[in-house]
Structure 1
Amino acid sequence: MSSLSSHPQVEALIERSNRLGADPRNTNYAGGNTSAKGTDTDPVTGDPVELMWVKGSGGDLGTLTERGLAVLRLDRLRALTGVYPGEEREDEMVAAFDYCAHGKGGAAPSIDTAMHGLVDAAHVDHLHPDSGIALACAADGEALTAECFGDRVVWVPWRRPGFQLGLDIAAIKAANPQAIGVILGGHGITAWGETSEECEAHSLEIIRTAEEFIAARATDAHPFGEVVDGYAPLPEAERRARAAALFPVLRGLASTDRPQVGHYTDSDVVLDFVARAEHPRLAALGTSCPDHFLRTKVRPMVLDLPPSAPLEQTVERLKELHAAYREDYRAYYERHAAPDSPAMRGADPAIVLVPGVGMFSFGKDAQTARVAGEFYVNAINVMRGAETVSTYAPIDESEKFRIEYWALEEAKLQRMPKPKPLATRVAFVTGAGSGIGRAIALRLAAEGACVAVADRDADAAAKVAAEIGPRDVAIPVAVDVTDEAQIAAALRETVLAYGGVDLVVNNAGLSISKPLLETTTADWDVQHSVMARGSFLVSREAARVMTEQGMGGDIVYICSKNGVFAGPNNIAYGAAKADQAHQVRLLAAELGEHGIRVNGVNPDGVVRGSGIFAGGWGAQRAAVYGVPEEELGAFYAKRTLLKREVLPEHVANAVFALTAGELSHTTGLHVPVDAGVAAAFLR
């Protein structure tokens, strides 16, 4: 088989897909699929062979590459119509797609593959535009489709995606040669063309025509009703403060069945929706497009109090609503589950709407949580459009269940890679702009955590966060740990980014090496202010969040062998480290009842990559020991039992070991990372 990129149909398909997927008006993230048919050379026979390239399962149009395409032989795919056992057994056809594959590799074919292969057109687009779904979910969608498009676009009644839907659309196209596409009831749109350019133009024509049709029907009466008295959005600063106060509670509730990461949205679309009179009715109806409710669940949890309600009352009401939501979801499952249905996956909400404040969405990682929120914004747009031209009427609950607990969807979930050890954990690392802190931040992120890279140097924090990845993985947070208000603000920023905090590393520090008689009170104060006081303040603020979440947590102090070993000319630093070391024991004893484990790491001098040593401590300690500064790391190594130099990565390894779950029953421990300094052995 020739390489995909050498085929002009594939190049055109990728370019079309990326253009369509780049505009959220056309389709949602990871939603929809596109295809192209063409002729290539069979590598075995040398004869021409008809192929179809189609976006595979789980990909995203906006970022689609050749690797995301499934490649199938059209003759074999179309031959499946002769063995199709009927709608009751249509799921069996998905396994048959594997026998239609051309060549090795490629993405797994999606459930929509039949739609693309059976429709007699060289190019096919299946998309989920808000405007198209608004018509698809309107009570009189069929009549509105005819009014909007005439006979140029045809209505297809709701049918679960699969082989039969592909047959239906193929028959509709054959019977309507003038049509450029269809509106799929409760679902989305499909368009076609004989060239890639024509197919794209037809897709955009359907989307833009629907947008214009809805806009022309708009009146002065808002489709969601009037703003309810007292439900208007809070001012921004007050709104975000309220969100930060509620988010850990909500994250803990949403993690009842399994830990979740959160995302907060206070966009105008969301704030307007939850302020208006009709939002409880519409939210209760749930979403419709399968791509929507697979990520948002069939309906959100909605707070029924105004934003002016006291915080304590709001928290108690959210707990009551959560209990009721779980009961309702279990009842939904039991109403529709068959003996062979997959087990219930969890009864917690994925979307929580709070009037005046915004939307909180949850998922197995930050990206999943963010995308869930984006999908619910799509759902709001759909509701607005449907209510503008008619009445919002999503597919029946029983059909939603058939999608949510589809055996094929379950198989797709089972194929997902195993979560990393720190998946769903939110980490806050101080002094993370360089040295040990940077190494810890990188390691925790590599193991699946979302990381707040906290440092006094905002530029250094931003650089490390960018090195780790996008905001779904890491955020920079500027904070001076000697400033109580800055610490509270930094934790609020972390909470608003990910929903809470689970893993705190007190690493920020500095070092002043002087003999007793030369140590000033200023030296003493700054040493203790940053390390002893700073770690106390960070731990106190983080513990507040952790206890509100009710999910346990980890606090790790990067202490030092100097907290145990009495080295020369080191009174201020050594005493501050000893203070931190005892904080570990004190907090382990106090926070254990909340499931919060507190442990410490005692490194030897970490010279290479250390901001502290580069900032003057290295020269000072080299002078104390009478060695050149460039040989200080080797000097430290020689005095250890293992004769090895300690690096930032070795400290990061210890933090990971303490927090990754294998030491789940360990708290109050200090782990030496010093290559063996006998004088620092713990007693």
Structure 2
Amino acid sequence: MTTPVEQLLERAHLLGADPRNTNFAGGNASAKGATVDPVTGSTVELMWVKGSGGDLGTLTEAGLAVLRLDRLRALTGVYPGAEREDEMVAMFDHCAFGKGGAAPSIDTTMHGLLDAAHVDHLHPDAGIAIATAADGEELTRRIYGDRVVWVPWRRPGFQLGLDIAAIKDANPQAVGCILGGHGITAWGDTSAECADNSLWIIRTAETYIAEHGRPEPFGPVSPDWEPLPEQARRERAAALFPVLRGLCSTDVRQVGHYTDTSEVLDFLSREKHAELAARGTSCPDHFLRTKVAPMVLDLPADAPLEDVISRLGELHAAYREDYRAYYERHATPDSPAMRGADPAIVLVPGVGMFSFGKDKQTARVAGEFYVNAINVMRGAEALSAYAPIEESEKFRIEYWELEEAKLRRMPAPKPLATRIALVTGGGSGIGAATARRLTAEGACVVVADRDLAAAEKVAAEIGARAFRSADVAVAVQADVTEEAQVAEAVRQAVLAFGGVDLVVNNAGLSLSRSLLETTVDDWDRQHDVMARGSFLVSRETARIMIEQGISGDIVYIASKNAVFAGPNNVAYGAAKAGQAHQVRLLAAELGEHGIRVNGINPDGVVRGSGIFASGWGANRAAVYGVPEDKLGEFYAQRTLLKREVLPAHIAAAVFALTGGDLSLTTGLHIPVDAGVAAAFLR
């Protein structure tokens, strides 16, 4: 026989696996049951409920809050009223059983005060469509009869739990309720019954909307807003994204996500999209991530790019003014300080939606929530009229002290959080080590390599611990000698994360030959990859950084051979010297844009190196008269520190240059060679 916790987790995974039932990290579920108190030996009634911030679809036992039911229900005796209901959250600590598990959410009393063994609270699009319809109460009666009861809007909290408990007691025939402006709650005596009731409420709403809704709830398609063809749409998105990212990073640097799904493009093609978008989202889970309303471009989809960029700047300035006015209209002396005034969602008809957040997952989820909001508006408008909760109520939740406390509990951001890095030659050796280090320090990374399979392997390894691999690392194919491939790789980086602001020019190769043996092809090949390649990458990414207007870093992986003269190395050494001087030239040119350009001069990195594995190691070993498998040791013994240089050492130097402590350093070359006196910089 399964335990209440096992039943709860099974139900949570069932409901959370389908986005029609609830959004990511939205809603919660609970189960009640008996256990033995290890202190008294007596039986005690407990409730297990999804903790704050968890996700139903991936919930584990560690994500559950565990509370004594008798103590939780006893809180009704000390409840000071709706005006002071926030004080009750701290009282949950006194109801914890054992260590209490995860932090209880604000909805805990909705579950604990309800006289039902199993309870679900969900945010299905169809259910919220009924909840936000102008005549939602009448629609609830029409759709469900007396089996589902309407609950007028009330901010989540202790009083809402009391309200729902009273409604259930007064309506023994009911299996759930529609929470005005918010979502649904369902219950059952068994976990299976609770899940069935939740799904029945959701599917019944979906069916009713499909059978009774108007066919074009957003109005007819406007010729000005029709989607651009896919290629033109993606090109316009790539051109606009860095500009938008810069605007939306006015207060705090952001990472972006681009969406051009059919739901988004259809909504934006309709005549009513601007009017509906201005009403904002309703469900608290939605607008906490999307802000109260998006920024919407009001030019035709095919308007000239320079006109669009100019207009976006005007709209952004107006959005910030409006947001400040919204804050000032509703703030009280004890309200938290105003957070960033930049939009989280930007809608561009014909192109799609751009969403922003503190990391890729946050930006992506914000976009997903706005798609939920579009679905909600579609359902509400199909049956009635979309009527979200009042602006003042949105403010009460957005600037709720309990939400502020949740933000304060979050860990401090890593040094490279919100930075988007492009690493060339990222499929092996120094590039792979650098990509790993940058993501470990909080960056999103685009792993670029001529060998796409190698880049994909590194990106997959990096993303293996993320909820979605592409939230932290993506792979792109790029031969840096090809101008078109470099431009396309940068475009893919922009579409993946919103821009680029940390570049590592690492792609390289080497042929060890004497002057007389070096052919023109040898010379051209090495200069094409390193001198020409790093020039092309720097040019394309600097263009993006300038458009963003939020500074950036370009790092060249040069070589001690840029300053050290050794035998049989004329093409490689000259190409590296060219890279080294690019650092100085670009530092002088790009400084006015806040872009820092620095270089790293490694000694020979043998282990894990693609260059050494491709024949360079054997050639250099022959030059120095040592076995190839001893080449790393040979290099180490000729250094002052007698240590071998590894890819991780180069990656550490990249981080040292870009992690923030050297923010006023540009035009510098850092030797990472364990001390080669002949390569000392002068």
Indicate the TM-score class for this superposition, using the shorter chain for normalisation. over 0.9
Pairing 1:300–2:304 present: no
Partner of 1:545: 544
Which residue is equivalent to 1:463? 457
**Partner residue in 1 for 2:122:** 127
1:438 matched to 2:437: no
Q: Say whether residues 1:36 and 2:31 are aligned partners.
A: yes
CA distance in 2, matches of 1:229, 1:456: 42
1:151 and 2:146 are equivalent in the alignment:
yes
How much is the aligned-residue C-alpha RMSD, in angstroms? 0.7
Alpha-carbon distance between aligned partners in 2 of 1:217 and 1:314, rounded to the nearest angstrom: 39
Is 1:65 matched up with 2:60? yes
Alignment partner, residue 139 of structure 1:
134
Matched residue of 2:204: which SS?
helix
Counterpart code for 2:398: E
Shift of 1:567: 1.0
- Aligned match of 2:556: 557
**1:16-35 matched pairs, under 5 angstroms:** 16-35=11-30
| 1:237 matched to 2:237 | no
* Partner residue in 1 for 2:361: 367
CA separation in 2, counterparts of 1:141 and 1:466?
46
> Does the residue aligned with 2:243 lie in a helix, a strand or coil?
helix
Q: Encode CA deviations 1:229-265: one digit per residue, 9 max, x unaligned.
A: 2210000000000000000000000000000000000
Aligned-pair CA distance for 1:611: 0.8
Partner of 1:224: 218
How many Å separate the matches in 2 of 1:152 and 1:191?
10
Q: CA deviation at 1:36?
A: 0.0
Aligned with residue 45 of structure 1, among 40, 43, 68: 40
Q: How far apart, CA to CA, are the structure 1 residues paired with 2:100 and 2:577?
A: 57
Deviation of residue 217 (structure 1)? 1.3
Report the equivalent of 2:93.
98
- The offset of 1:218, in angstroms, is 2.4
Judged with a 3 Å threshold, the aligned counterparts in structure 2 of structure 1 residues 425 and 40 are, in CA distance, closer, same or farther, namely same
CA–CA separation in structure 2 for the residues paired with 1:295 and 1:520: 59
> Percent same amino acid at aligned positions?
79
Hey, what's the Cα distance between the residues in 2 that align with 1:105 and 1:177?
Answer: 32
SS at match of 1:104: strand
1:308 positional shift: 1.1
Instruction: Tell me by how many angstroms 1:7 deviates.
Output: 6.5
Matched residue SS, 1:517: coil
Alignment partner, residue 379 of structure 2: 385
Q: What per-residue deviation string (whole Å, max 9, x for no partner) do you get for residues 196-247 of structure 1?
A: 0000000000000011111111234x10001112210000000000000000
The answer on 1:661 being equivalent to 2:660 is yes
CA distance in 2, matches of 1:313, 1:232: 18
1:376 to 365, 370, 373: 370
How far apart are residue 508 of structure 1 and its match? 0.2
Where 1:544 maps in the other structure, the secondary structure is helix
Does the CA-based 8 Å contact 2:67-2:100 persist in structure 1?
no
The within-5 A match list for 1:229-268 is 229-268=223-262
How far did 1:37 drift? 0.1
Amino acid at match of 2:499: G
Structure 2 CA distance for aligned equivalents of residues 16 and 266 of structure 1: 32
Question: What does residue 79 of structure 1 align with?
Answer: 74
Partner of 1:271: 265
Q: 1:210 aligns with which of 205, 209, 218?
A: 205
**Is the 2:512–2:616 Cα contact (8 Å) retained in structure 1?**
yes
Report SS of the residue matched to 1:214: helix
Residue of structure 2 equivalent to 1:587: 586
- For 1:515, the equivalent position in structure 2 comes to 514
| Residue of structure 2 aligned with 1:199, choices 194, 203, 218 | 194
Indicate yes or no: 2:176 matched with 1:176: no
Structure 1 Cα separation of the partners of residues 428 and 485 of structure 2: 20
SS in 2 for 1:362: strand
Q: Which amino acid aligns with 2:267?
A: F
Query: 1:615, 1:490 → 2: CA distance?
Result: 24
Provide, for residues 142-191 of structure 1, a one-character-per-residue CA deviation record: whole Å limited to 9, x for no partner.
00000000000000000000000000000000000000000000000000
CA distance in 2, matches of 1:486, 1:628: 38
Question: How do 1:635-650 and structure 2 match up within 5 A?
Answer: 635-650=634-649
Partner-residue secondary structure (3-state), 2:129: helix
Provide the rounded CA distance (Å) in 2 between the counterparts of 1:547 and 1:425: 15
CA distance in 2, matches of 1:346, 1:337: 15
Query: Shift of the alpha carbon at 1:104?
Result: 1.5
Q: Matched residue pairs, number?
A: 677
In structure 2, do the counterparts of structure 1 residues 572 and 480 end up closer, same or farther at CA, with 3 Å as the change threshold?
same
Shift of 1:522: 0.4
Q: Secondary structure of 2:101's match?
A: coil
CA distance in 2, matches of 1:465, 1:105: 37
Secondary structure, counterpart of 1:258 in structure 2: coil
Contact 2:439 2:472 in 1 (8 A): yes
Do structure 1's residue 354 and structure 2's residue 353 form an aligned pair? Answer: no
Name 2:466's counterpart in structure 1: none
- How far apart, in 2, do the equivalents of 1:102 and 1:7 lie? 21
Query: So what's the TM-score if we normalise by structure 1?
Result: 0.99
Q: Distance in 2 between matches of 1:352 and 1:492?
A: 19
Gaps spanning 5+ residues in structure 1: where?
1-5
Q: Is 2:587–2:598's contact at 8 Å kept on the other side of the alignment?
A: yes
**Unmatched 5+ stretches in structure 2:** 464-468
What whole-Å deviation, never above 9, does each CA across 1:609-647 have from its counterpart, x for those lacking one?
Answer: 111111100000000001111111000001111110000
Distance in 2 between residues matched to 1:219 and 1:7, nearest whole Å: 45
Q: Which residue number in structure 1 is paired with residue 279 of structure 2? A: 285
4+ residue runs of structure 1 moved beyond 6 angstroms?
Answer: none
Q: Name the SS for the 1:667 alignment partner.
A: coil
Other structure's SS at 1:284 match: helix
Match of 1:109 in 2: 104
CA distance in 1: counterparts of 2:306 and 2:293, whole angstroms: 25
Q: Deviations over 1:266-317 (max 9, x none)?
A: 0000000011100011000000000000000000000000111100000000
Partner SS, residue 492 of structure 1: helix
Q: Secondary structure at the match of 2:224?
A: coil
CA distance in 1, matches of 2:100, 2:174: 35
The answer to whether the 8 Å contact 2:246/2:549 transfers is: yes
CA distance in 1, matches of 2:641, 2:2: 59
What is the SS of the residue equivalent to 1:102? strand
Partner of 2:315: 321
Aligned equivalent of 1:488: 487
Q: Distance in 1 between matches of 2:401 and 2:268?
A: 35
Q: Is the 8 A contact 2:150 2:179 kept in 1?
A: yes
Q: Which amino acid aligns with 1:550?
A: G
Structure 1 residue aligned with 2:532:
533
Q: CA separation in 1, counterparts of 2:75 and 2:368?
A: 37
Amino acid at match of 2:375: N
Look up the match of 1:330: 324
**How much does 1:105 deviate?**
5.2
CA displacement 1:395-422 (0-9 Å, x = unmatched): 0000000000000000000000110110
Match of 1:3 in 2: none
- Confirm or deny: 8 A CA contact 2:187 2:197 kept in the other structure: yes
CA distance in 2, matches of 1:608, 1:14: 46
Which residue is equivalent to 1:598? 597
1:54 is paired with a residue whose SS is strand
Aligned to 2:225, the other structure's residue is in SS state coil
